[in-house]
Amino acid sequence: MSPGRFITLEGGEGAGKSTQLRALAAALRARAIDVVETREPGGSEGAEAIRALLLTGRADRWSPRAEALLFAAARADHIEKTIRPALKRGAWVLSDRFLDSSRAYQGQGELTDADIMTLHRIGSAGYLPDRTLLLTLPEEEATGRAKARDGDVSDRIGGRASDFHRAVANAFTRFARDETDRVHAVDASGPAEVVTVRLLEAIEDLLP
């Protein structure tokens, strides 16, 4: 049995993560790979319940510390109930967002990147993906895609100021620069099918 692999897709809102996750899963299934598609926050019964708490309600519903702890708790349940069992049977797990989202969104205000990594060590024994695909897209294009789909409606975190989202994008860029083995930046512009080919190239070395 070839080993299961854990692949995460990261990037800002509207970059095309969900679209590409579905396309990548289809491409892997066409190669007879057992694939589990999942997402964060969420991906297990408990984590989906926490997702509803995190993404709805007033902007100030949670303090930065409480918010980071909720993401870490959801992730611990997701790994335990969904990710590890799938990998154990040799499946590939594709997750729409994971730890790097917490580092980018929760780890550069009141809490630092080191704080988020400490929460991840406590919650999930520091577990990391085999590969993280960072979808990069100029801000205006990503905003345009998200707006075309959602109009002016956004969730608790998506609705934050553009400065915040710019800082998130810079943090993701830093991760790709500093963790070159794991985090691969992939250009998410152009037609969806072309982006999927780029993503497949970025995991080619992991394919059985």
Site for ligand Z5A in 131-150 (CB under 6 A): 145-146, 148-149
Does 6 bind ligand Z5A (CB under 6 A)? Our answer is: no
* Least distance (Å) between residue 3 CB and ligand Z5A: 25
Note the Cα 52 to chain centre separation in Å. 17
Does 18 bind ligand Z5A (CB under 6 A)? Our answer is: yes
Collapsed DSSP state (helix, strand, coil) of residue 131: strand
- C-alpha–C-alpha distance, residues 59 and 160, integer Å: 8
H helices present in the chain, as ranges: 17-29, 45-55, 64-78, 84-88, 99-106, 113-124, 139-150, 162-178, 192-202
DSSP for residue 170: H
Among 130, 158, 182, 198, binds ligand Z5A (CB under 6 A): 158
Which region among 29-37, 85-93, 155-163, 179-187 touches ligand Z5A (by CB under 6 A)? 155-163
Do residues 129 and 184 make contact, with C-beta atoms less than 8 angstroms apart? Answer: no
Does 169 bind ligand Z5A (CB under 6 A)? Our answer is: no
* Least distance (Å) between residue 151 CB and ligand Z5A: 11
List the beta bridge partners of residue 163.
Answer: none
- C-alpha–C-alpha distance, residues 141 and 122, integer Å: 37
* Least distance (Å) between residue 205 CB and ligand Z5A: 24
Which region among 25-33, 81-89, 94-102, 196-204 touches ligand Z5A (by CB under 6 A)? 94-102
**Strands 131-136, 6-10: pairing kind:** parallel
* Nearest residue to 20 via CA among 168, 127, 122, 136: 136
* Least distance (Å) between residue 1 CB and ligand Z5A: 30
List the beta bridge partners of residue 186.
Answer: 135
Does 10 bind ligand Z5A (CB under 6 A)? Our answer is: no
Site for ligand Z5A in 112-131 (CB under 6 A): none
* Nearest residue to 41 via CA among 54, 24, 30, 23: 54
Does 195 bind ligand Z5A (CB under 6 A)? Our answer is: yes
Does 101 bind ligand Z5A (CB under 6 A)? Our answer is: yes
Site for ligand Z5A in 27-56 (CB under 6 A): 40-41
Residues forming contacts to ligand Z5A in the complex (CB under 6 A) are: 11, 13-19, 40-41, 71, 97, 101-102, 105-106, 145-146, 148-149, 155, 157-158, 191-192, 195
